[in-house]
Amino acid sequence: MISGRQTASSIERAILGVRAEEEKLAVMARTSAEEAVRLRTEQAEDFKALAAIRLEALLSKEVAGEIDRVERQALDLVERGRQRLSSAADRRARALEAAHAAEAEHAEKAAAVDALGDRIEGLAASVEASIQQDAAWKAQQERVVRAEVVAKAGAEKAAQAESDRQSKGKPYEDDTLFMYLWRSGYGTNAYRGGALARFFDAKVARLIGYDEARPNYHMLNEIPLRLREHADRLVENIEKETAKRDALERKALEAKGIVALENELDDAEKAFDAAAARLEKAKADLTALDADGASEADQDPDYRKAIEILSERLGRQDLQTLYKEALATPTAADEQIVQKLHASGQKIARAEAEVHNIRKTAVDLARKRAELEQSLSQFHQRGYGEPMGGFTNGDVIGGVIGGILSGALRSRNLDDALNGGFRQRQPRLPGGFGGGLRLPGGGGGRPPVGGGGFRTGGRF
């Protein structure tokens, strides 16, 4: 069985792994996009060279000058976008690195808490074995057992009397005249009837034999109350005797160093809580940066604007005419430029297709990460990360996580695996030894009445 904390860490690591892949794709997309712009600017240079060959000097200078201006504007836009995206990439890289470090620290602190819990339970098991040979503990344990036996008998008597009260009281309660006199308090100091009422009530009492029946009904009601009070006192006696036994156990535990271990556990849990808070902060920082990643999933506005202005200028009719005329001339130089323009157009198409495919892959990765994050949210909502939680199907869970990463499975499959494999971890000791040991996740608590024996309590 793997613990809930270990399982949560596995999902966290998978999520951070996906984020790392997303970051790599973002870098690849930026690189390909910048290459496409570079190729377009080279294309602009080739068009200028073609213009220089094919146009008269005045026209050549005019077209070349305009292309120079467009090129500079496009490059300025690309550089501005590159700086902004580079800054965002640096922030995401730092946030991702911080999240990895926080997750590793979180797992380390969780393991330390679990290890201390194991040491405390191990110490308790050792003390349990030795104290059972102690004469004072044996005598006190016998008193606890006797108190439980007596309390059980008292509870049974009270329950029987309450049952008898229901069955034997029915004839009285079905008698309307008897219940009228009973409720009026006839025959007791509580009776407040006037002279006329007393006269007729006395006749009714003689008629139904009320004076003989009233004490019997009174005792029928009174006995269960008294027996229940007695049973409650016997339960309190169990608690008193159990507290004495707990004190002996606690003393033995303290003699073996339980206090130092409990203090270590307090410190370890504080460190774990602090690590958990840092992990949540790191995850929140990544989530806040997801908005930047979402804009990158589309196309950077500066890059898009650069493409638009270059394409618009290079797509004008006069440049298209230059392109067609170059094919018809016998000059080798302009034909070479045309061939280069053709090749650069293919390279641009490939680079932009690569950008499109990378972004498509990034969207798929983001979906997989969302699936894992959804399952992790369900995991925490169901309390699977509590110290008492564990999973018997760790291999299955790992396989499902891998299936989500490959795209074959979804969060519902992981939810099913978590739900099917979750089990409450049972303590190695049967209850609340020493009155309830200080164990991971909260204290021990009072053992239940009627148990006897050693009990660890707590949440392990």
19 near 286, Cβ under 8 Å? yes
CA distance 361 to 367: 10
pLDDT at 76 over 90: no
Please give the mean pLDDT across all residues of the chain: 79
Segment 319-326 mean pLDDT:
57
318 near 63, Cβ under 8 Å? yes
Crossing angle of helices 4-54 and 301-314, rounded to 10°: 20
Residue 151's H or E segment, with its range, is helix 135-168
Q: What is the pLDDT of residue 299?
A: 53
C-alpha dist (Å) from residue 336 to 44, 329, 339, 413, 443: 15, 12, 5, 59, 84
Q: Is residue 390 part of a domain?
A: no
Q: What is the pLDDT of residue 247?
A: 93
402 near 417, Cβ under 8 Å? no
CA distance 378 to 281: 19
Q: Which residue has the higher pLDDT, 451 or 87?
A: 87
Burial 236-273 (b: 16+ CB within 10 A, else e): ebbbebbeebbebbbebbeeeebeebbebbeebbeebe
For 189-322, where are the E strands, in sequence order? none
- Residue pLDDT, tens place only, 359-376: 888 888 888 888 888 888
Q: What is the pLDDT of residue 250?
A: 92
Q: Is residue 21 part of a domain?
A: yes
Among residues 227, 255, 283, the one where a domain terminates is 255
Which residue is it, tokens 């006797």?
Answer: 146
124 and 195, same domain (yes or no): no
| Side-by-side strand order, sheet with 422-424 | 2-3, 389-391, 422-424
Give one DSSP letter per residue of 84-110, joined into a string.
Answer: HHHHHHHHHHHHHHHHHHHHHHHHHHH
Query: What are the residues whose beta carbons fall under 8 Å from the beta carbon of 323, sequence distance 6 or more?
Result: 50, 338, 341
Written as six digits, the tokens of 432 are 């609340």
Q: What is the pLDDT of residue 153?
A: 94
Q: Is residue 90 part of a domain?
A: yes
Q: What is the pLDDT of residue 427?
A: 52
Q: How many structural domains comprise the chain?
A: 2
243 near 447, Cβ under 8 Å? no
pLDDT at 452 over 50: no
pLDDT at 412 over 50: yes
For 350-408, where are the E strands, in sequence order? 389-391
Crossing angle of helices 301-314 and 57-131, rounded to 10°: 160
Q: What is the pLDDT of residue 58?
A: 37
pLDDT at 347 over 50: yes
Reported confidence tier of residue 72, pLDDT bands at 50, 70, 90: confident
Segment 329-355 mean pLDDT:
73
pLDDT at 68 over 70: no
Q: By residue range, what is the domain housing residue 198?
A: 134-255
Q: What is the pLDDT of residue 438?
A: 66
Q: What is the pLDDT of residue 451?
A: 34
Calculate Rg over the CA atoms of the chain.
Answer: 42
Distance from CA of residue 130 to its chain's centroid?
A: 41
Reported confidence tier of residue 150, pLDDT bands at 50, 70, 90: very high
Q: Is residue 123 part of a domain?
A: yes
124 and 264, same domain (yes or no): yes
- Residue pLDDT, tens place only, 238-250: 999 999 999 999 9
DSSP three-state, residue 389: strand
Q: Is residue 389 part of a domain?
A: no
- Residue pLDDT, tens place only, 32-55: 877 877 787 777 777 666 555 544
Among residues 255, 281, 313, the one where a domain terminates is 255
Terminal-residue alpha carbon distance, the chain? 14
Among residues 339, 365, 391, the one where a domain terminates is 365
- Residue pLDDT, tens place only, 277-316: 998 898 888 888 876 655 544 456 766 676 666 556 555 5
- Residue pLDDT, tens place only, 167-215: 899 999 899 999 999 999 998 888 988 888 889 889 899 998 999 999 9
Q: Which residue has the higher pLDDT, 446 or 222?
A: 222
C-alpha dist (Å) from residue 176 to 171, 179, 199, 211: 10, 5, 19, 16
pLDDT at 419 over 70: yes
Q: What is the pLDDT of residue 285?
A: 87
Top-ranked range on mean pLDDT: pick from 280-289, 380-389, 447-456? 280-289
Q: Which residue has the higher pLDDT, 350 or 389?
A: 350
Q: Is residue 32 part of a domain?
A: yes
Closest CA to 454 of 148, 177, 141, 13: 141
pLDDT at 414 over 60: yes
Q: What is the pLDDT of residue 321?
A: 61
Q: What is the pLDDT of residue 82?
A: 72
309 and 327, same domain (yes or no): yes
Q: Is residue 274 part of a domain?
A: yes
Q: Is residue 76 part of a domain?
A: yes
Nearest 10 degrees: Cα torsion 89, 92, 97, 102: 180
Q: Say which DSSP state 299 is in.
A: -
Reported confidence tier of residue 126, pLDDT bands at 50, 70, 90: very high
142 and 222, same domain (yes or no): yes
Top-ranked range on mean pLDDT: pick from 37-41, 136-140, 413-417, 420-424? 136-140
CA distance 16 to 13: 5
Nearest 10 degrees: Cα torsion 165, 168, 171, 173: -10
Q: What is the pLDDT of residue 390?
A: 82
